[in-house]
Amino acid sequence: MTLLSSDALEAALRAIGAERYHNLHPFHRLLHDGKLTQAQVQAWALNRYYYQSRIPAKDASLMARLPTADLRREWRSRIVDHDGDAPGQGGIARWLKLAEGVGLDADYVESASGILPGTRFAVDAYVRFVQERPLLEAIASSLTEMFSPTIISERVAGMLQHYDFVNEGTLAYFTPRLSQAPKDVAFALDYVKSHATDTEKQEAVLAALRFKCDVLWSQLDALYFAYLAPGFVPPGCFQPAAV
Ligand X SMILES: O=C(O)c1cc(C(=O)O)c2c(n1)C(=O)C(=O)c1cc(C(=O)O)[nH]c1-2
Segment near ligand X (CB under 6 A), from 34-42, 116-124, 142-150, 225-233?
142-150
Nearest residue to ligand X, scored by beta-carbon proximity: 144
Give the count of beta carbons closer than 10 Å to the beta carbon of residue 85. Answer: 7
Give the count of beta carbons closer than 10 Å to the beta carbon of residue 17. Answer: 21
Segment near ligand X (CB under 6 A), from 39-47, 113-121, 137-145, 194-202?
137-145
User: Residue 142 interacts with ligand X (CB under 6 A)?
Assistant: yes
User: Residue 148 interacts with ligand X (CB under 6 A)?
Assistant: yes
User: Among 177, 205, 217, 219, which residue interacts with ligand X (rule: CB under 6 A)?
Assistant: 177
Alpha carbon distances (Å) from 233 to 111, 123, 218: 18, 19, 16
User: Residue 220 interacts with ligand X (CB under 6 A)?
Assistant: no
Residues 83-112 close enough to bind ligand X by CB under 6 A: 91
User: Residue 54 interacts with ligand X (CB under 6 A)?
Assistant: no
Give the count of beta carbons closer than 10 Å to the beta carbon of residue 153. Answer: 12
233 closest CA partner among 1, 27, 43: 43
Question: What is the spatial distance between Cα 63 and Cα 21, in angstroms, rounded to a whole number?
Answer: 25
Determine contact, residues 180/81, Cβ cutoff 8 Å. yes
Please enumerate in sequence order all residues whose Cβ is within 8 A of that of 222, keeping only pairs 6 or more positions apart, or say none.
Answer: 47, 116, 117, 118, 119, 122
User: Among 151, 160, 172, 228, which residue interacts with ligand X (rule: CB under 6 A)?
Assistant: 151
Minimum distance from residue 180 beta carbon to ligand X (Å): 7
Question: What is the spatial distance between Cα 147 and Cα 23, in angstroms, rounded to a whole number?
Answer: 9
User: Among 43, 79, 92, 152, which residue interacts with ligand X (rule: CB under 6 A)?
Assistant: 152
User: Residue 202 interacts with ligand X (CB under 6 A)?
Assistant: no
Nearer to ligand X, 163 or 233 (CB): 163
Minimum distance from residue 87 beta carbon to ligand X (Å): 19
Report the interface residues with ligand X, using CB under 6 A. Answer: 55, 91, 142, 144-145, 148, 151-152, 177, 216
